[in-house]
Structure 1
């Protein structure tokens, strides 16, 4: 089992949900979060401007402290991870700073509280 943690633009949430439904991924937790990454909090999607990544790297552009994102948490069987990650990338890629990040972490076990089932059947 793996835990997939994805940070995406809020505007891409509906399309991401749609692709996960199409993949028949039954469980997704979506949480509104605030944060910033390499873009230093500059939200180019709201301002409608495109800042070259080298300019941002030099620290010459000041931006907002934090920007809104959606954090998705999915625990999936090992065999499903690649297609889930590829689908999230496909739907969320714009080529601009702020497209998001995906982290894949090992998960030792899952337990369904109601039935005490564990492992993949608990998913």
Structure 2
């Protein structure tokens, strides 16, 4: 199993979640966060914003679903060609998962 962490713009979350659910990937954890990327924030006029609002979507999927899920997120989270701040997707291995109510291991 793989963990997918997608950091995306807040205004793109509902579209991404809708498309994931339509593709039969409804299980997602969403967290409101702030941060900045390589561009180190944004300057608008005289005001500098170094903490930009973002959302993190967390999902655990089977290994063979990773490319489809990543593709759905990328297609629906992108605002334009080469736009800074659209986000980042991280994929990592899940060693174990347990259901708290039953104590069962998922792997």
Fold conserved between structures, TM > 0.5: yes
Secondary structure class of the residue paired with 1:63: strand
Q: Deviations over 1:10-33 (max 9, x none)?
A: 000110111110111131010010
What is the distance in 2 between the residues matched to 1:63 and 1:38? 15
Counterpart mapping for 1:2-17 below 5 A: 2-17=2-17
Please provide the CA RMSD for this pair.
1.6
Question: Which 4+ stretches in 1 moved above 6 angstroms?
Answer: none
* Contact kept? 2:3, 2:60, Cα under 8 Å: yes
Verify: 1:108 aligned to 2:79, yes or no: no
Residues 83-122 of structure 1 aligned to structure 2 (within 5 Å): 83-93=68-78, 94-95=80-81, 96-120=83-107
Tell whether the 8 Å contact from 1:40 to 1:63 is kept in structure 2 after alignment.
no
**Can you give the 5+ residue segments of structure 1 that lack an aligned partner in the other structure?**
48-61
Largest Rg, 1 or 2: 1
Q: Which residue of 2 aligns with 1:41?
A: 41
Please state which structure has a larger fraction of its residues in helix: 1
- The residue correspondences of 1:62-73 to structure 2 (distance < 5 A) are 63-73=48-58
Residue segments in structure 2 that go unaligned for 5+ positions in a row? none
Q: TM-score, with normalisation over the residues of structure 2?
A: 0.88
Q: What count of residue pairs does the alignment treat as equivalent?
A: 103
Select the structure that is richer in strand. 2
In 2, Cα distance between equivalents of 1:106 and 1:23 = 22
Q: What does 1:22-41 align with in structure 2 at a 5 Å threshold?
A: 22-41=22-41
Q: Secondary structure at the match of 2:18?
A: helix
